[in-house]
Structure 1
Amino acid sequence: MSDLSRRRILRGAGAALAAGAVAGCTGGDGEGDGTIDGHLSGANNYDGTVVDMTGESEVTVAVGADNGLAFDPAAVRVDAGTTVTWGWTGRGGRHNVVAAEESASEFESDLAGGKGVTFRQTFESGPQLYFCNPHRAQGMYGAVAIAE
């Protein structure tokens, strides 16, 4: 192998390493988004979008949205210390909000079915993955990403 060929190979390898290092520093859409995509892969009302609600001190997620078997939005991104309030729509029967095993925190609301019922949780780290236990098999999943 000539010196010129070795230099090209080394230069190409160096460029690839540098690009990987920069990509690792810049990050993606947010910590945990891959985990969120996996958790929400079969969720109702999830199109791959994590709704950015950073900068808000309180965020509301509808419980029993659309056909009554969805959270809306299904995935949100908030700042650490933000309080998320889940508000029942009164549609779809009785619901709850239960932290998935992979979630960064443990939380669970009471099972309720009336319109106007609320459950509040403040998050410091994430991702927070959750579901409605009675409607888990029907795809009622949600997630909260915590911005860095």
Structure 2
Amino acid sequence: MTERTRRSLLAAAGSVAAVPLAGCADAILPGGGDDEDNGSDEEPVDRTGEETVDVAVGGDGGLSFVPANVVVDAGTTVVWEWTGVGGTHDVVARDGTFESDLSGTEGYTFERAFEEPGVYEYVCTPHQTRGMVGSVEVVE
């Protein structure tokens, strides 16, 4: 193998190895980053009166939760379902109270019952700096 061929092969291998990490280059741990970017620029969707609320993970082009912000009654279960768009996502509470696995698989779900009133902010850790954030407001 010539020196030029080896260099080309090594350069190509390095490019391929970097591709899976491309979506993670701007990842920040929950609670980090710009606290003003908490999904609050989207009005909350009232889902009170429902036992289960669905949120799409990777909706609207792949880098958002749809709806991003919901208001639910205490005792409601929120089910996040991956669309398979936008790469690998997760759902992680900024306060550490819940966390899904990373997945890019369409149909993968994560759910959590919200019993206590309050506002629960969450992010997709690989994409939070791109605005992939949301919240669940739990009311009595």
1:1-148 alignment runs, 5 A limit: 41=37, 43=39, 47-101=41-95, 106-125=97-116, 126-148=118-140
SS in 2 for 1:137: helix
Evaluate the alpha carbon distance shift between residue 42 and residue 100 of structure 1 in structure 2; reply closer, same or farther with a 3 A threshold.
closer
Deviation at 1:47, TM superposition (A): 4.4
Which has the higher Rg, Structure 1 or Structure 2? 1
Evaluate the alpha carbon distance shift between residue 121 and residue 39 of structure 1 in structure 2; reply closer, same or farther with a 3 A threshold.
farther
Q: CA separation in 1, counterparts of 2:75 and 2:100?
A: 19
Evaluate the alpha carbon distance shift between residue 66 and residue 40 of structure 1 in structure 2; reply closer, same or farther with a 3 A threshold.
farther
Evaluate the alpha carbon distance shift between residue 56 and residue 88 of structure 1 in structure 2; reply closer, same or farther with a 3 A threshold.
same
When normalised by structure 1's length, the TM-score is 0.66
SS in 1 for 2:122: strand
Long gaps (5+) in structure 1: 1-37
Q: CA separation in 2, counterparts of 1:91 and 1:40?
A: 26
- Aligned-CA RMSD value: 1.9
Whether the aligned pair in 2 keeps the contact of 1:80 and 1:147 (CA below 8 Å) is yes
Whether the aligned pair in 1 keeps the contact of 2:42 and 2:68 (CA below 8 Å) is no
CA deviations 1:96-119 (Å, max 9, x no partner) are 000003xxx700000000100000
Whether the aligned pair in 1 keeps the contact of 2:45 and 2:70 (CA below 8 Å) is yes
1:144 maps to a residue whose letter is V
Q: CA separation in 2, counterparts of 1:40 and 1:93?
A: 25
SS in 2 for 1:134: coil
When normalised by structure 2's length, the TM-score is 0.70
Q: CA separation in 2, counterparts of 1:40 and 1:82?
A: 27
Percent same amino acid at aligned positions? 53
Long gaps (5+) in structure 2: 1-33
